[in-house]
Amino acid sequence: MSRTDAVTRILFEAFPTVEVRLFYVLGYTAIAVFLYGVYVQIRKYRRGAALKLEGSIYSRLLDMTVKVLDQRTVARRDAAAGGAHRLIFYGFVLLFLGTATITLQYDILEPLFGIRFWHGEFYLIFSLVLDIAGIAMLAGLLYMMYRRGWLKPPKLDYARPDRAAGDADFERPQYRREDWAFLWTLVVIGATGYLLEAARLVWLEARPDVWDTRWWSPVGALIAEGLQRLGLDAHGGGVLRLSLWWFHGILALVFIALIPFTKVKHIFTAAASLMVRDPLAAQRLPRVPENQAAPGVAKITDFNWKQLLNLDACTKCGRCHEACPARAVGAPLSPRDVILSLREFANASLQSGKLPEAAELDVHGKSSGQVAQETLWSCRTCMACVEICPVAVEHVPIIVQMRRKLVEDGAMDPILTKTLQTIHKTGNSFGESKRKRGAWSKSLPFKIKDARKEPVEVLWFVGDYASFDPRNQKVTQTFATLLHEAGVDFGILYDGESNAGNDVRRVGEEGLYEVLAGANIAALEGASFKTIVTTDPHSYNTIRNEYPDFGGKYEIQHYTSFLKQLFAAGKLKVEQPVKRRATFHDPCHLGRFNKGYEAPRELLKLLGCELVEMGRCRDNSFCCGAGGGRIWIPDPVGTEKPAQNRIREAAAIPGLEVYVVSCPKDLTMFEDALKTTGNEGKFVVKELIELIREAVPAPRAEAALA
C-alpha cells in the first residue's frame, strides 16, 4: 500500500461484518422511509388541480439554481439571519456532497469499476474543506439559536392575528418544538462528527498516515489533542469512536428519513417553489378556465399542485407577516398564517391513502386549518408578501382565488356588494352616469380630443377616481393642461371608458372584470393611437399585465415616466424650482407591481425637491390600504388604518413639507389620514402633478387656469 493510498477516510475499519451489514440495513431503511415520504408529498400535490407552466424548464432551472446558490432572497431585509442561513446552507451542502462522494467511491465506483479517488492529497484537501464547512454550519446554527432564544424578533412569534388567545391553533407550540428540534439535531450531528473525528485520531495515533496528517482536519485534531491531555489512550479512543460512530450515523440517518415529514423538507420544496415561480403572480391574476364549474377555490383540492407546493415551501420566516399592512394595523390577517393554515389543512386531509369526502375538504370557515372570510377580506392585494417571500410563495393569487368563491356565494360586505352592482350598472364605482365621465374636461379652456372620433398620438386612460372624485379632478385637469402646453397630441375615450377593472378583479369578481376588460378593449380597439398614458397605477397595472390575456396588447406608460420624457425632450421646463423637503410614497401598483421606482424620484429631483425617504420605501412601500377593493369596504371603527400608520411614519421625518403621491386613490386616502392623525398643517399631501405645475408655471395666456 503506497503512502497516498493509506491516507484516506477511515470508514468501517475494525467493524465486525455483522455491524457493517446492520449499518447498510439501517441506511437503506432510512432511504426507503425518505422515498416513501417523498411519494406521500408528491401524491399530496398531485391531488391539487392541474396547471400548465409557461416558459422553458431550463430557464426556470437556471433561475432557481442562481437563487438557491446566491441565497439573496433569504438575506433581504434580514442580513444577519441571511448570513447565518448562508453559513448553514453552504456548510450543509459541502458536508452532504462530501459524504455523497464517499458513497460514490465506496459503494459504486470502486466495487464496480475499481476507481478510487478518495485518498492522498484529494482526501486531505477534502478533509480540510469539510472541517471548515462543519464550523460554518455550526456557527450558523448557533446564531439561529441565539436569534430564536434571545433576540426573539416579533416576526418569529407564531401567535396569530386571525385567532384569539385560547383557540387551539392560536400559538401553535408544535412549530416552536419543531424549530428547536431541527436546530439541535443538526448541532448534535455536527458536534458528534468532530468528536468522532477526534476519537478516531486518538484511536489511530500510532498510524503515521493518520496521525501525521491530522492537521488537515484542524478541529478534529484540536479536540484529539485535548482528549489525549484528558488521558484518553488509543484503546479508549477506539471504544469512543465506535459508540460515537453509531450515534452520529443513526442520528444522520434518522434526519434523512424525516426530511419529507418535517420542516427540513424546505430544502426541496423551497427550491421547487422557486423553480415554478410566476414573476407576475400578483400583477396578472389567473383566468377562470372555461370548463371550470365554479370559479375560485372552495376545497383544498381546488388549489393547483403548484399552490399546494407553495404551502409546503413556507419556512415561517415571517417576512410576509412583517410586511403585511393589514397585519400591521391589527386586521385579522397574516399572509404567513393563511399559508400555514392551508398547509395544516392539506397535511391533515391529503396525506392519507384515501381522499376524504368533498365536504371535509372545504377550506372556508373558522375551524383549524380553515381560512375565515374576515381574513380574506382584510387583504389589500398590495403584493408586499409575494414580493418579499424568499421561497416564492404566491399569497395574493391564493387569497383572490378564495375570494372568488366568497363573491360567488355573496359572502361580502354589503357596501362592496352595492359597489359591484353599481359598477356593473354604470361602468364606474361612483354610480355616476356614464355620460359624466369626461365632464371634468368641460371647464378647461381647450377641447380634449375624443379618441373614439379622431386619431391621437397618446391615448389617456383616465380611470374612475381621476374622472369622478372632485379632489382628483383638479389633478386630472392640471395633467391635461400640462399635456396641452407641452404640445402632446392626446385624447380620451370619454364615456367609452369604463372602470379598468384592476380592483374588481382583486376583489374576486372575475365575471365583472371580464365585462369591464372586454368593454375597454373594445373601446381601445375602436380608437387610433400609438401609446396609452394613465395617471392611475391601478389601471396601468391591469392594462399592462392583464389585458393581454384578453386580447388587448398595448404599450402603456404611467404618467411619471411619460412626463420624464417630456422634460428630457425639453417640452416641459422647470422654471420655478420647488425647493421643499419632500418624501415620496411608492404606490403598490406602480412600485412593487411594475418596478416604477425611479421615474417619480427623478422628477422630484428635477423639480428641485429635497427627497427624504421613509424607512419603508420602494419594494417595501407600505400600502395606503385602498387596494384589493378595500377602498369599497369600510375599515372597522376604532382601529388604525394603514394610511394613518403611513402618515405617522412620514410625520417622523424632521421638517417634512410635502408628502408626494402619484396615484389618485393615494391622494384620497392620505389627505384623509393627514386630517385624522392630526397632522394637518404640519405638512401637505400633494400629487406629483401638482408639484410639477408649481415648477412649470402656465404660459401667461393661460395663467388664469392654473
List of residues contacting other proteins (CB under 8 A): 288, 295, 407-408, 410, 412, 414, 417, 420-421, 424-426, 432-433, 435-436, 509-512, 514-515
420/408 Cα distance (integer angstroms): 12
Question: Minimum distance from CB of 566 to other proteins (Å)?
Answer: 34
Nearer to other proteins, 441 or 534 (CB): 441
- DSSP, collapsed to helix, strand or coil, labels residue 478 as helix
CA 630 to chain centre: 21
Q: What is the CA radius of gyration of the chain?
A: 31
DSSP secondary structure, 275-327, as one string: HT--TTTTTSPPPPPTT-SSSS-SBGGGSBHHHHHHHHH-----HHHHH-HHH
Nearer to other proteins, 73 or 426 (CB): 426
Nearer to other proteins, 49 or 653 (CB): 49
Question: Minimum distance from CB of 420 to other proteins (Å)?
Answer: 7
- DSSP, collapsed to helix, strand or coil, labels residue 573 as coil
Question: Minimum distance from CB of 447 to other proteins (Å)?
Answer: 19
Q: What are phi and psi of 556, to 5 degrees?
A: -135, 145
**H/E stretch holding 479:** helix 470-485
Nearer to other proteins, 418 or 579 (CB): 418
- DSSP, collapsed to helix, strand or coil, labels residue 397 as helix
Question: Minimum distance from CB of 289 to other proteins (Å)?
Answer: 13
Nearer to other proteins, 495 or 687 (CB): 495
Nearer to other proteins, 410 or 615 (CB): 410
Nearer to other proteins, 288 or 706 (CB): 288
593/281 Cα distance (integer angstroms): 10
User: What angle separates helix 305-313 from helix 395-409, to the nearest 10 degrees?
Assistant: 130
Nearer to other proteins, 420 or 607 (CB): 420
SS3 for 356-375 is CCHHHHECECCCCCCECHHH
Nearer to other proteins, 173 or 414 (CB): 414
Question: Minimum distance from CB of 497 to other proteins (Å)?
Answer: 17
Nearer to other proteins, 260 or 296 (CB): 296
* Residue in this structure with the C-alpha cell 475499519, named with its chain if needed: 13
Compute how many other C-beta atoms are within 10 angstroms of the C-beta atom of residue 535: 29
Question: Minimum distance from CB of 467 to other proteins (Å)?
Answer: 14
Question: Minimum distance from CB of 353 to other proteins (Å)?
Answer: 36
> Helices then strands (H, E): number in the chain?
30, 9
**H/E stretch holding 256:** helix 234-258
Q: Are 524 and 554 in contact (CB under 8 A)?
A: yes
In Å, the largest CA–CA distance within the chain is 103
Question: Minimum distance from CB of 147 to other proteins (Å)?
Answer: 47
Q: Are 604 and 691 in contact (CB under 8 A)?
A: yes
252/248 Cα distance (integer angstroms): 6
Compute how many other C-beta atoms are within 10 angstroms of the C-beta atom of residue 185: 18
Nearer to other proteins, 103 or 433 (CB): 433
Question: Minimum distance from CB of 630 to other proteins (Å)?
Answer: 18
C-alpha cell at 561: 415616466
Nearer to other proteins, 119 or 403 (CB): 403
Residue 683 is classified by DSSP as B
Nearer to other proteins, 322 or 503 (CB): 503
Question: Minimum distance from CB of 423 to other proteins (Å)?
Answer: 10
Q: Which of 338, 307, 513, 509 is nearest to 409 (CA)?
A: 509
Question: Minimum distance from CB of 291 to other proteins (Å)?
Answer: 14
- DSSP, collapsed to helix, strand or coil, labels residue 167 as coil
Question: Minimum distance from CB of 135 to other proteins (Å)?
Answer: 60
Compute how many other C-beta atoms are within 10 angstroms of the C-beta atom of residue 487: 10
Question: Minimum distance from CB of 519 to other proteins (Å)?
Answer: 12
- DSSP, collapsed to helix, strand or coil, labels residue 638 as coil
Residue 259 is classified by DSSP as G
